Amino acid sequence: MNIPLLFLALGAVFAGFIPFGSFVSANGKAIELPFHLTFSIAPVAVGLLGILIASALYKTQNDNPQKVIEACGRAYRWAYHKYYIDEIYMFVTKRVLFNMVGRPAAWFDRHVVDGMINGYASVTSSSSEAIKTMQSGRLQTYSMFFLGGVLLIALLLLLNFM
């Protein structure tokens, strides 16, 4: 597992030296991206400070982490629980959004949409029961209905254009 991580780390180190500005631009000219050393010092220093503090606390087994937890008190508990963002998210999504949006949408789907579909199915079933008696399997009957339909359409068209 360490070898793939090593390859990823090497790729991340050397990716900064690839001139991406000359590869990706709207007009084909290289984009010059300035590097400001003063903006880079603070994040690296904070990261190194965090690494040093963690190594001092956890390099050997001791009571120092527990002492830090007790000294920080409520601030540690809030940070440990990620400032309760997950709990707030669950409250908003499950209690508020689900009850105010999900339940009415489910009711609308169950009663209105399903009711319309069931109504169409009922009308289709009723009309098929009504016209089932017209199906006899005799070709003469089918051709008579076809001829009657054609004559009815021709009559309607004649009346419409007169």
The 3-class secondary structure across 2-34, one letter per residue, is HHHHHHHHHHHHHHCCCCHHHCCCCCCCCCCCC
Q: For residue 4, what pLDDT is reported?
A: 92
Contacts of 25 (CB under 8 A, 6+ apart): 31
**Contact, 76 vs 69, CB < 8 A?**
yes
Q: What is the mean pLDDT of each run of 10 residues along the chain (162 residues)?
A: 90 82 74 81 94 91 88 91 92 88 92 95 92 82 91 94 79
Considering only the C-alpha atoms of the chain, give the largest distance between any 2 of them, rounded to a whole number of Å.
104
In this predicted structure, what is the pLDDT of residue 137? 81
Task: Extract the tokens encoding 94.
Answer: 């499950």
Overall residue count recorded for the chain in this entry? 162
What is the number of H-type helices and E-type strands within the chain? 8, 0
Q: Does the pTM of the predicted model rise above 0.85?
A: no
SS (H, E, C) 87-127: HHHHHHHHHHHHHHHHHHHHHHHHHHHHHHHHHHHHHHHHH
